[in-house]
């Protein structure tokens, strides 16, 4: 689908809910769109790892990592799996690592920044909860549209 977030905001007005969060592009592409799969976790990327190995079917992984800069929730191995398994992109309210390698991958990866330390894997966190990132509630299945200008959420019914 061809879109840009500026046009979506112009067309949909307040129904285009803009994520007000300073996210940086780390993948080789900035564009992605698709239904959200939400993860809420804190310094534990177990669920992200598990989901990355499942079929993405064009969905966007939306991770509320609590804004932590103390460790990375995604690195090159998870990102390669997301790409290989058909995820459209990943948006993380948290950090990534392996920045140089991520820049080679043809998938949208947006996050707060980098940390060289990996997170723990203790199976903590939840999948499918409504998360709050950048002042927007994002529910599992909400439509995500992201590009160089930002991330926009449009609820399923209004995006038909």
Ligand X SMILES: O=C([O-])CC(=O)C(=O)O
What are the binding residues?
75-78, 97-98
Closer of 98 and 142 to ligand X (Cβ) = 98
Q: How far apart are CA 18 and CA 135, in angstroms?
A: 8
Nearest-5° angle of CA 136, CA 20, CA 97?
Answer: 100
Sign, CA dihedral 14-19-20-22, equals: negative
Size of the site for ligand X (CB under 6 A): 10
State which of residues 51, 74, 95, 108 lies at the interface with ligand X (CB under 6 A): 74
Nearer residue to ligand X within complex by CB, 34 or 75: 75
| Segment contacting ligand X by CB under 6 A, of 26-34, 71-79, 83-91, 109-117 | 71-79
Rule CB under 6 A: say whether 119 interacts with ligand X: yes
Compare residues 75 and 125 and give the one whose CB is closer to ligand X. Answer: 75
Cβ(42)–Cβ(70) under 8 Å? no
Q: Smallest distance, Å, CB 2 to ligand X?
A: 30
Angle subtended at Cα 41 by Cα 159 and Cα 46, rounded to the nearest 5 degrees = 105
| Cα separation, 7 vs 91, whole angstroms | 21
Residue 76 interacting with ligand X (CB under 6 A): yes
If residue 90 lies in a helix (H) or strand (E), which one and from where to where? strand 89-93
Of 45, 59, 65, 142, which lies in the binding site for ligand X, with binding defined by CB under 6 A? 45
Interaction site with ligand X (CB under 6 A): 45, 74-78, 97-98, 118-119
């Amino acid at each position: 689908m061809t879109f840009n977030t500026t046009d979506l905001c112009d067309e949909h007005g307040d129904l285009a809910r803009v994520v007000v969060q300073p996210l940086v592009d780390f993948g080789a592409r900035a564009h992605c769109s698709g239904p959200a799969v939400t993860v809420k976790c804190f310094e534990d990327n177990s669920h992200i790892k598990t989901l990355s190995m499942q079929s993405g079917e064009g969905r966007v992984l939306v991770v509320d990592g609590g804004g932590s800069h103390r460790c990375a929730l995604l690195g090159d191995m998870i990102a390669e799996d997301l790409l290989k398994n058909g995820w459209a992109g990943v948006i993380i309210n948290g950090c990534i690592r392996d920045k140089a390698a991520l820049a080679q991958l043809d998938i949208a990866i947006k996050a707060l920044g980098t940390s060289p330390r990996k997170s723990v894997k203790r199976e903590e966190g939840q999948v499918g909860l409504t998360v709050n990132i950048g002042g927007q509630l994002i529910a599992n299945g909400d439509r995500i549209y992201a590009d160089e200008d930002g991330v926009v959420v449009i609820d399923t019914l209004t995006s038909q």
